[in-house]
Amino acid sequence: MNLAIRDIRYHRGRFILTSIGLGLLLGVVMSMGGIYRGLFADALAVLNFTKADIWVVQQDTNGPFAESSRIPEDIKYRIKAVPGVAEASPLSFQTIQIERMGAQFRFFLIGYDLDGFGGPPEILAGRNIRQKHYEMVVAKGMKMAIGEKIRLGLHDYTVVGITGKVVSSGGDPAAFVSLADAQDIQFKKDNDAIRNDRERIGANLSGIQTLSPAQAKFLKQNIAGITETTHTVNTIVARLAPGADLKEVQERIRRWNHFRPISVEEQTKILTKGMIEKARMQLGLFRIILLVISAVIISLIIYTSTLDKIKVIATLKLIGSQNRVIVGMILQQSLLMGVIAYGIGYVLILLTYDKFPRRIVLEPFDLQMLFVIVIAICMISSFVGIRKALKVEPAEALGG
Amino acid sequence: MDKSMYAIEVAQLTKIYGKGDTAVIAIADATFQVKPGELVAILGPSGSGKTTLLTSIGLINEPTHGKVVIDGAVVADEGWTPGLDLKRLRREKLGFIFQAHNLIPFLSAIENVMVALEINNMSRSEAKNRATELLTSLNLGHRLNNYPTALSGGEAQRVAIARALANKPKVILADEPTAALDTENGKNVMDLLKKLAVENHSAILVVTHDHRMVKGFDRIFQVSDGRIIDEETNGN
Ligand SMILES: Nc1ncnc2c1ncn2[C@@H]1O[C@H](COP(=O)(O)OP(=O)(O)O)[C@@H](O)[C@H]1O
Ligand SMILES: [Mg+2]
């Protein structure tokens, strides 16, 4: 006969309530693990679907995600010419926050060369971008329909396709436009701004005494041209030819002295170690605190339920019960509570994880680890109760 | 003399609680023997040492001095006999009945009896049969699946008696088994114990402070201040 289960059955109300409480706690612990995995997945999403081998960014920066990076678009020709490089394609990234349907709406705009790579990883509905201008493919997370228009910069853009779950490293949904459009949106000023710039440059130039008015006018026109150029990108991604040596290609690009060629491995490190390390530690600390709280709760419950059973334990001892019967009763109760609470937490997280605002990734390994930890906590927590039980004297069963 | 002719043998049994100035001599120099099938009452006022006598014989309190022999086995001689498995002896040779029934609240009547059998390594189905049989013989056949809180005082005490009898012990020790019952139920319990002593051939030691309850007992020990001051023998 299993005394642990009999006792639980008799006090089922208390047991169920406690297990639900613990289950909620463990659900939060699981969700925190999932949030961390989600942060990780989000941080690496763009890196992963782009499938580039090298990310060329501005020298001395950790671009284009962790730090800003600006490089001229036409470098792509030089990179393509490096031996071992199969393809090179420019990309531009910017975070845009607009007002949409009365609320602030943030998304991540990716501009890509329609003839290169780095565009939408898949098209779930509609089609890819075909026109050089004013077309847009959005991630599902944008919650936009095909045909919907959105105003960015000076123009309206029409959604022509929907792609899967693509997010920025910050978790904002992504949208794709042609590189030229992205550059326009990022750099092109409206006509007022251009006129202002020209006036300012003109005023500065007229202040230079050594220039003749004719020279000043000539310079003014040329400089205005430079300030209006939009042929800047954030990174140029490259794929290597089969058998090419990554280190060698990186070394060649590095020798130009203006760019930093970042390998995928390095980029992963920048994104995970730098950008989400603090969040990871934060979440990790929270999980530990919650697990400690769970352990304290389990200990307390097992201890008080042992105190409730002092007379039962004394009677069992008096009629000759082996210690294993008594230890088993307490330990099994503790384990059962842990297992049930884990189950409740697990069901809870399964039912809710896709409703969280940010991605929650449930890794079987994490869940298994947590299960092992919960079992260990239950065993350790029941020690206080077991110690108390073993000290009970059979004589305590006597008297009123 | 053949040792095993007695279920209980006590010689110069002394139990002292505490040390020095605060020492209490709860039992002093008790010597007696009880044969199988004998029903013995221990009568005395509160604090006279009745419970201590029972627990010293019952392998619960270690005797300070003297000898205790249960069913031929020397369990204590100036302290416990070394290497003794007290729990095992308790569950195999002794049955206990308490003042409060001490049933396990989260077990039904039948489970309370079964637990005593199962800790003595009886299989579950055997235990179930034996418990049903015992409880039915004690007129509790209709109460098998009730929890202790649903039983009357008399019923609960009969379940406790069934539990004490479960392993067919040679010795049954009862500490004020009628104290929590009304006179009628108290008499019924005592009658039951008398019957069991004869039927099971067990030595039964019953502590009580109510002399009205000891009619029909084979022997009655009067205890006062830790000493057996009088012994009455009935019948024969
Ligand atoms: N565990 C103990 N420690 C110290 N003194 C005790 C203990 N148990 C009983 N006593 C003392 O021993 C004496 C006999 O007690 P007890 O055997 O319980 O008597 P009874 O059962 O006749 O009322 C009393 O004076 C009591 O206070
Ligand atoms: Mg007493």
| Residues A133, B188: Cα–Cα separation, whole Å | 102
Tokens found for residue B178:
């009628």
Q: Tell whether A170 and A138 lie within a shared domain.
A: yes
Residue of A nearest to B110 (CA): A1
Query: Residue B96: which of A3, A6, A319 has the nearest Cβ?
Result: A319
- Please choose from B13, B15, B16, B17 the residue to mutate so as to test ligand 1's pocket, defined by most ligand atoms within 8 A of CB: B17
For residue A48, is it within any domain? no
Q: Tell whether A209 and A293 lie within a shared domain.
A: no
Q: Tell whether A167 and A66 lie within a shared domain.
A: yes
Q: Tell whether A176 and A250 lie within a shared domain.
A: yes
For the residues A255-265, what does the mean pLDDT come to? 93
Interface test with A, best of B114, B119, B163 (most A CBs within 10 A): B119
pLDDT > 90: what percent of chain A? 67
Question: Which of the four pLDDT bands, split at 50, 70 and 90, describes residue B236?
Answer: very low
Which residues place a Cβ less than 5 A from the ion ligand 2?
B 51
CB-based contact A319 B99, cutoff 8 Å: no
Range of the domain at A216: 199-228
For residue A372, is it within any domain? yes
For residue A216, is it within any domain? yes
Tokens found for residue B115:
């637990």
pLDDT > 70: what percent of chain B? 97
Q: Tell whether A91 and A239 lie within a shared domain.
A: yes
What are the C-alpha distances in Å from A239 to residues A178, A245, A260, A314?
A: 20, 11, 15, 75
Does position A400 have pLDDT exceeding 60, yes or no? no
| Residues B211, A5: Cα–Cα separation, whole Å | 43
CB-based contact A397 B89, cutoff 8 Å: no
Q: Which residues contact B159 (CB under 8 A, 6 or more apart)?
A: B101, B103, B109, B112, B113, B135, B138, B140, B143, B148, B151
Tokens found for residue A367:
């869940």
Does position B235 have pLDDT exceeding 60, yes or no? no
Chain B partners of A400 at a C-beta cutoff of 8 Å?
99-100, 180
Does position A128 have pLDDT exceeding 70, yes or no? yes
B107 at interface of A, judged by CB pairs closer than 8 A = yes
B112 at interface of A, judged by CB pairs closer than 8 A = no
The number of domains in chain B is 1
- Alpha carbon A75 to its chain centroid, in Å, reads 31
Query: Ligand 1: which residues within 6 Å by Cβ?
Result: B 17-18, 24, 26, 44, 46-52
Q: Tell whether A369 and A246 lie within a shared domain.
A: no
For residue A389, is it within any domain? yes
Question: Residues 30 to 89 of B: which have CB under 8 A from any A CB?
Answer: 51, 55, 60-61, 87-89
A128 at interface of B, judged by CB pairs closer than 8 A = no
CATH number, domain of B168, equals 3.40.50.300
The number of domains in chain A is 3
For residue A215, is it within any domain? yes
In angstroms, what is the span from residue B193 Cα to ligand 1's centroid?
A: 25
Does position A69 have pLDDT exceeding 50, yes or no? yes
Q: What is the pLDDT, as a whole number, of residue A190?
A: 62
The ipTM of this complex is 0.93
Q: Tell whether A242 and A303 lie within a shared domain.
A: no
Q: Tell whether A80 and A166 lie within a shared domain.
A: yes
Hey, how many other C-beta atoms are within 10 angstroms of the C-beta on B175?
Answer: 24
**DSSP 8-state secondary structure symbol assigned to residue A273:** I
Q: Tell whether A38 and A122 lie within a shared domain.
A: no
Q: Tell whether A244 and A105 lie within a shared domain.
A: yes
CA dihedral A219, A221, A227, A228 (to 10 degrees): -160
Question: Which of the four pLDDT bands, split at 50, 70 and 90, describes residue B209?
Answer: confident
Query: Could you tell me how many CB contacts below 8 A there are between chain A and chain B?
Result: 75
In angstroms, what is the span from residue B51 Cα to ligand 1's centroid?
A: 7
Q: Which ligand is nearest to the CA of B49?
A: 1
Q: Tell whether A283 and A383 lie within a shared domain.
A: yes
- With 0.90 as the threshold, say if the pTM is over it: no
Does position B17 have pLDDT exceeding 90, yes or no? yes
Question: Which of the four pLDDT bands, split at 50, 70 and 90, describes residue B216?
Answer: confident
Query: Residue A315: which of B104, B106, B120 has the nearest Cβ?
Result: B104
Q: What is the pLDDT, as a whole number, of residue A254?
A: 93
Residue closest to B23 by CA, chosen among B64, B69, B80: B64
Query: Residue A10: which of B99, B105, B119 has the nearest Cβ?
Result: B105
Question: Peptide bond preceding A64: is omega within 30 degrees of 0, i.e. cis?
Answer: yes
Q: What is the pLDDT, as a whole number, of residue A193?
A: 67
A223 at interface of B, judged by CB pairs closer than 8 A = no
pLDDT tens sequence across A329-372: 999 999 999 999 999 999 999 999 888 888 899 999 999 999 99
For residue A337, is it within any domain? yes
pLDDT tens sequence across A155-170: 999 999 999 888 998 8
Q: What is the pLDDT, as a whole number, of residue B155?
A: 95
Range of the domain at B134: 3-233
For the residues B7-35, what does the mean pLDDT come to? 94
For the residues B203-219, what does the mean pLDDT come to? 90
Chain A partners of B51 at a C-beta cutoff of 8 Å?
398-399
Q: Tell whether A128 and A243 lie within a shared domain.
A: yes
Phi first, then psi: what are they for A224, rounded to 5°? -55, -40
